[in-house]
Structure 1
Amino acid sequence: MTAPQPIEVLARIVASDPGRPRLTWYDDEPGPTQGERIELSARVLANWVAKAANLLQDDAAAGPGTTVGLDLPPHWRALYWALATWSVGATVAVGPAATGADVLVTTSPERAADHGGDAILVSLPALARSHPEAGDSGGAVDEARELSTHGDRFSPMAEAEDADPALVGDGADTAYGSLVVPRPDWGAAPRVVLDDTLPRVLSDALSAWAADGSVVLTRGPERDLAARLAAEGVTVDGRPGG
């Protein structure tokens, strides 16, 4: 059986149960976003993906053959930008490969300003309405300000083939046809906790969703992680060594 593409995985979890939480984010990293908890249902996740995909397709002409660099930490925003990239049929580039991509999605105004192509400046705080340093980004799209103006539904102008590159960089060169990896050992509808590199988080999140499951994504130290995972109903520890 051919593995589904990410856009199909997203459509399936929306159809299965649009209101069930599919992505829960905890930020324990010291800084302005410490203490954030974000929960996205399948419907809400698809809404974020559609808006980002419309931005990529309409404003950056992204599609098959385009590389989209994710200069982002393993974060809930990185997940919808990756899904948006795969929705337009483009290639996600991570690590050093991100800065040389056709389109750069970054939290850094400096890297956005230095990028030779289209750049999108991302604010990590959940309630951000604009990036405080957008004026230093060389005209990059301010995601916090502009993303909401794009449509809630997305129709790709072109679709990727299974052999097309889906994820490149950091040793994670993967074609579309190999991107969604079944994890039968996780069981049906797993609730998977993740805290790893961005390529690994992207891969494991797709595996969880393909099994009609959900993801709890964390970053930073948490003193009582066991209690949190129990409260969240986690069934699979997908962290390194978990």
Structure 2
Amino acid sequence: MRTPASLLADLLAADPARPRVTFYDDAPGETCGERIELSGKVLANWVAKAGNALQEELDAGPGTVVRLDLPGHWRALYWALAAWSVGATVDLDGTIDADVTVTDDPERVPAGGEAVVVTLAALARSHPNPLPAGAMDEARELATYADAFSPWEAPGPRDRALVAGGEHTAYDAVVPSPGWPAGARVLATGDLASVLRTALAAWAVDGSVVLVREADPARMPGRLAAEGVTLDPR
């Protein structure tokens, strides 16, 4: 069974230094204009830290529901992979009770349950606003967790991996088989559900993603050429 965690291991085994995520932020606001590139090794380090935070601090594992209340952003990718690495369910719809909420807005932290507040800016060292009592400040605290991760328990094939668009997808079906060329460099845009599916499909063929948040159409032709994008699934 191919899982998101096994995909990440495959990327590291193939070439840990190769870029696997290239991110552009076109969304209005303080992060507009950011460009971030993550190699397989760097992506795995972020996943390990987030996975350890989920497992050690928030008691997440198979059966845990992790609500991802984030835009299509590079930080959302590693939180999704971290949740899958501990065997949890990633919920994008917000229609089921969450055990852990990962959000970029302190005002959307629920009254009950565990919460992580993410600051999207690349160089942030703490969240700029006050956080609810008990919420984890990702920018301040995530760096304290280890760069290596080992799950305490693996998910079963029929355990729920993803809730998105009203559909529930099990672990044995969450990694797609897109039939794309090996090593494809794929454009990923849109909401988080679309971004996650595109990223998993690209990594399944030993590829990489160019992720653009709220893409500016005027910038896209030159950007796709500069980044060597070989597949635009829009």
TM range (shorter): over 0.9
Q: 1:187 aligns with which of 181, 188, 194?
A: 181
Query: Could you tell me whether the CA contact under 8 Å between 1:128 and 1:144 is conserved in 2?
Result: yes
Residue type of the alignment partner of 2:22 = T
Between 1:56-65 and 1:102-111, the stretch displaced more is 102-111
Residue type of the alignment partner of 2:39 = S
The CA distance in 2 between the partners of 1:199 and 1:219, in whole Å, is 13
Residue type of the alignment partner of 1:109 = P
Please tell me whether residue 154 in structure 1 is matched to residue 149 in structure 2.
Answer: yes
The CA distance in 2 between the partners of 1:205 and 1:238, in whole Å, is 11
Secondary structure at the aligned position of 1:82 is classed as helix
Please tell me whether residue 202 in structure 1 is matched to residue 199 in structure 2.
Answer: no
Residue type of the alignment partner of 1:14 = L
Query: Could you tell me whether the CA contact under 8 Å between 1:96 and 1:170 is conserved in 2?
Result: no
Cα displacement string for residues 10-45 of structure 1 (whole angstroms, at most 9, x for unaligned residues): 000011000000000000111100000000000000
Query: Could you tell me whether the CA contact under 8 Å between 2:119 and 2:127 is conserved in 1?
Result: yes
Offset of 1:168 from its aligned partner?
Answer: 1.0
Query: Could you tell me whether the CA contact under 8 Å between 2:68 and 2:102 is conserved in 1?
Result: yes
Offset of 1:222 from its aligned partner?
Answer: 4.3
- Partner in structure 2 of residue 23 of structure 1: 21
The CA distance in 2 between the partners of 1:97 and 1:13, in whole Å, is 33
The runs of at least 4 consecutive aligned structure 1 residues that moved more than 6 Å come to none
- Partner in structure 1 of residue 118 of structure 2: 122
Q: 1:178 aligns with which of 173, 177, 182?
A: 173
Please tell me whether residue 238 in structure 1 is matched to residue 233 in structure 2.
Answer: yes
Structure 2 residue runs of 5 or longer lacking an equivalent are: none
The CA distance in 2 between the partners of 1:18 and 1:180, in whole Å, is 20
Residue type of the alignment partner of 1:126 = A
Q: 1:79 aligns with which of 53, 77, 82?
A: 77
Q: 1:9 aligns with which of 2, 7, 10?
A: 7
**Paired residues for 1:39-118 under 5 Å:** 39-97=37-95, 100-112=97-109, 114-118=110-114
Residue type of the alignment partner of 1:107 = D
Offset of 1:200 from its aligned partner?
Answer: 1.8
Offset of 1:183 from its aligned partner?
Answer: 1.1
Offset of 1:159 from its aligned partner?
Answer: 0.4
**More helix by percentage:** 1
Secondary structure at the aligned position of 2:134 is classed as coil
TM-score by length of 1: 0.93
Query: Could you tell me whether the CA contact under 8 Å between 1:93 and 1:168 is conserved in 2?
Result: yes
State the Cα RMSD in Å: 1.1
The CA distance in 2 between the partners of 1:202 and 1:128, in whole Å, is 24
User: Given the superposition, is the C-alpha separation of residues 169 and 187 from structure 1 closer, same or farther in structure 2, using an over 3 Å criterion?
Assistant: closer
Offset of 1:111 from its aligned partner?
Answer: 1.8
Secondary structure at the aligned position of 2:112 is classed as coil
Q: 2:213 aligns with which of 213, 216, 219?
A: 219
User: Given the superposition, is the C-alpha separation of residues 223 and 91 from structure 1 closer, same or farther in structure 2, using an over 3 Å criterion?
Assistant: same
Structure 1 residue runs of 5 or longer lacking an equivalent are: none
Offset of 1:198 from its aligned partner?
Answer: 1.1
Offset of 1:80 from its aligned partner?
Answer: 0.3
TM-score by length of 2: 0.96
Identity, % of aligned pairs?
57
